[in-house]
Chain A
């Protein structure tokens, strides 16, 4: 799954550690989400959406994957 976390973080000039502190997760969690190695749980995705004040689907893009599930 693609996401805009790095760009959203850059717009606020936050480090990974700073974003991790705001989400109360580890820095490794932020790094793993940003690099696409880990898809966050729904509660964490909502937490991100609230923090950046935008809908989840504007942060995360499932791409073509949704079509394959139909």
Chain B
């Protein structure tokens, strides 16, 4: 029989594990941390004894890591076929995700609100700073060693547009503030805007 060179129907591929599950595990981890933080806040407000502040983050992260480990083990045959590059790539993504989740859970457990500018204890501030710099550096080294051409291009374009999302508004905001036409510059707004633009451009070039 002649081959179908139009590829109207793609050859069947081995069934990949459902990728919704890792997302669901991440969601449950965040909900668990939020639930314990909420319980503690309610207990403090009503004068009852609360759990130690570290219980929520540790329980949530332990749950998340255990659930992901179980997920990977239950699909071991599929993941064993991955090349070393692909394993490194996903390890860097998982590492960066874990880093973000640990930071968010710790911030929430220490300051009450993830997006507030409320005071932190020096121990929490230093621990988060070290975690951020060292963890991000390690994740990025692993990521850059494992990305392919196409991903690298998407990453570079995302980074470029993220940079523009900072470079254009920042001086404008600054001079407008000096003329009394705008409030003082809020670095976190610029940071978040830059990250959002970076992510959108990256996702566009990666998955369009």
Interface residues of A, count at CB 8 A: 25
Q: Mark out the residues of chain B between 1 and 60 whose CB falls within 8 Å of any chain A CB in the assembled complex.
A: 3-7, 10-13
Contact of B150 among A11, A13, A24, A32 (CB under 8 A): A32
Q: How far is the CA of A37 from the CA of B149 in the complex (A)?
A: 13
Q: How far is the CA of A18 from the CA of B11 in the complex (A)?
A: 10
Contact A17 B13 (CB under 8 A): yes
The answer, yes or no, to whether B178 is at the interface (CB within 8 Å) is no
Residues from chain A with a CB closer than 8 A to the CB of B151 are 26, 28-29
The answer, yes or no, to whether A15 is at the interface (CB within 8 Å) is yes
Contact B153 A25 (CB under 8 A): no
The answer, yes or no, to whether B83 is at the interface (CB within 8 Å) is yes
The dominant DSSP class at the B interface is loop
The answer, yes or no, to whether A14 is at the interface (CB within 8 Å) is yes
Q: If A7-B5, A10-B6, A11-B5 touch, does A25 touch B149 (CB 8 Å cutoff)?
A: yes
Q: Mark out the residues of chain A between 1 and 44 whose CB falls within 8 Å of any chain B CB in the assembled complex.
A: 6-7, 9-11, 13-18, 21, 24-26, 28-29, 32-33, 37-38, 40-41, 43-44
Contact of B13 among A7, A15, A29 (CB under 8 A): A15
Chain B's nearest CB lies how many Å from the CB of A5?
10
Chain A's nearest CB lies how many Å from the CB of B11?
4
Chain A's nearest CB lies how many Å from the CB of B72?
19
Contact of A29 among B7, B10, B12, B149 (CB under 8 A): B149
Chain B's nearest CB lies how many Å from the CB of A41?
5
Chain A's nearest CB lies how many Å from the CB of B12?
7
Chain B's nearest CB lies how many Å from the CB of A20?
9
Pairs A-B, 4 closest by C-beta atoms: A29-B150, A25-B148, A15-B11, A10-B7
